[in-house]
Amino acid sequence: MKRHIIHDSKPITLIGGAGFDLAALKQVLTVGTNVVAADGGARAALENGLMPAAVIGDFDSLDAATLNAIPAERLYKITEQKSTDFEKCLSRIEAPLILGVGFCAGRLDHQLAAFNALLRHPNKRCVLIGAEDLVFLAPPGLTLDLPVASRLSLFPMGPVTGRSEGLRWPISGIRFSPAGESGTSNEVCGPVRLEFDAARMLVLLPRAEFTGLVSALLQTAGKWPVP
């Protein structure tokens, strides 16, 4: 098991090297004041006046100026190439919630790799914040207080079944799979309760629901799947 580099009793902000808007960063920093950068995300952190507590990655996207601007004891170079920089960070951060910006823009293959990393580390609470969406791996059970008519999309990353309350189109009895049925563009019609039999379902919500989602995920302490 990889040792943890960062331990925090509060949520962590994780900055990646893909694009993100400043409003997203400001929103995330209201919750996760401790900042970690994934490789090239260190440059974005410095450009926004943030000194990361740690920079984790293989450093193939870091320029000399960025490296020289960060204290050496905060640089954690991980040379193995079997995992992405995002996954290297996930496996080395111990916190109640990880909030990632800079992972849902730019190259589509990088975004898909980030979603795959969420699946490979189901014991980590992590939300990725994009231009319009919040993306996270669903825990076994989750209650959400969302406005009626809000969009709630489900996308399976493997075979999975579940149950729901408060959705216009209930999911009970559906056998979801990447090559079969998905649950995109569902709609909230009341208090939402989701349950899944495996940690394989991605949930996508509008970014406007950030505060409520963070609160709901922090309440799942002790109930998160551990592989």
pLDDT digits (tens, 9 = 90+) for 63-91: 999 999 999 999 999 998 889 999 999 99
- The reported pLDDT for the residue numbered 227 is 52
Token readout for 176 is: 């979801």
pTM value is 0.94
CATH 3.40.50.10240 in the chain is located at 6-131
* Contact in structure between 129 and 100 (CB atoms under 8 Å): yes
CATH class as words, domain 6-131: alpha beta
Over residues 189-197, the mean pLDDT reads 96
Cα separation of 111 and 105, whole Å? 7
Let me know how long the chain is: 227
Under the banding of pLDDT at 50, 70 and 90, the label for residue 222 is low
- The reported pLDDT for the residue numbered 49 is 96
Token readout for 186 is: 């569902």
- pLDDT per residue as tens digits for the range 94-129: 999 999 999 998 889 989 999 999 999 999 999 999
Residues 6+ apart with CB under 8 A from 226: 122, 123
**In 3-state terms, what secondary structure has residue 113?**
helix
pLDDT at position 1 over 50: no
- The reported pLDDT for the residue numbered 150 is 96
Cα separation of 9 and 55, whole Å? 19
Cα separation of 166 and 2, whole Å? 39
